[in-house]
Amino acid sequence: MQCVFAALFAVASLLPGADALPLAVGNEWTLKSTSGQLLQVRVGRILLLKDNETYLPITGYRAQNAWLRRDANGELQWLNLDTDVPELITRFDPERGTYTTNLGACAQHAAVDRRRATWRQFDALRIEYSGGCPDDAISEELYVENLGLVRRVVSTFAGPVTYDLVTAKVGSLVYGEQAGTMFDVALSSGTLKSNEGVVRTRVTLRLTTRNTEPIRLSYSDGQQYEFRLINPAGEVVWLWSKDLVFTAAASEELVLDRRWEQDLVIKGVAPGL
């Protein structure tokens, strides 16, 4: 079962293999090097339908603009307009092995590191690249799940250039290098599997701030968060709080960082998106 969770003020898309680069209309990422060079990645608003598959236009991610889609394995495919055939461009599952990609200026080999990396305070997925052109070849990338590309290291004649994320807009989530807060949602597994009609999973909510002063969280009653399963029509097919009872008392708390964990038991939901 695949699903979309809406929690607090963020919407996180959770897809097979984890959504390391959320592909949705209007999403954008700006990365900056120490010398001030910008790498801007944007998902456009025009859709391309090819062989019953929907492709989204993306600029800045590949050396040339491309049409991308995510396949059933959670991998990114780009449509080669010269051959009219989709090709693998990015893989996020380390178990699927080394692959060839035309993400950079020339074809390269790439492999997802089984060990997780750390980018600032976030757990990140790391991809290593080899081969390619002597100039403008990618050597490393880091992705934070549900946020996207947060670092790209490019080899040049003058030496390596490292781009780090400074701003991003992913759905309703806005991230800024100097922003006050960052909120993300993680499942124990990106794919939910039903066992005799029941799905059990743990969800972790993380609120991180860069403020020197704490922020105030206000709750109108005893419920601090909500989880919903939503189908493609926008209908709520499962609501976590439906059969729960909360205290009526309002409350507040001052936090710099906050973490919630909740075990969910989901019943009576048909498989699908």
What are 161-193's pLDDT values in tens digits? 999 999 998 887 778 765 566 777 777 765 677
Instruction: Provide the token pair at 129.
Output: 């690249």
Whether the pLDDT of residue 18 is over 90: the answer is no
- Would you state the pLDDT for residue 224? 92
Q: How far apart are CA 269 and CA 267, in angstroms?
A: 6
pLDDT in tens, 120-151: 878 899 999 999 888 889 999 999 988 999 99
pLDDT band at 119 (very low <50, low <70, confident <90, very high): very high
Query: Rounded to whole angstroms, what are the CA distances from 99 to 75, 90, 93, 96, 226?
Result: 11, 8, 11, 8, 39
Indicate the pTM of the whole model: 0.64
Supply the pLDDT for residue 257: 83
**Which residues have a Cβ under 8 Å from the Cβ of 146 and sit 6 or more positions away?**
12, 13, 14, 18, 19, 22, 170, 173, 184, 185, 186
78-113 pLDDT, tens digit per residue, is: 999 999 999 999 999 999 999 999 998 899 999 999
What pLDDT does 177 receive? 66
Query: In sequence order, what are the residues at sequence separation of 6 or more whose Cβ sits closer than 8 angstroms to the Cβ of residue 134?
Result: 155, 157
Rounded CA-CA distance 57/61 in Å is 10
Answer left, alpha or beta for residue 191, where phi above 0 means left and psi between -120 and 50 means alpha. Answer: beta
Among 34-43, 202-211, 248-257, the range scoring the smallest mean pLDDT is 202-211
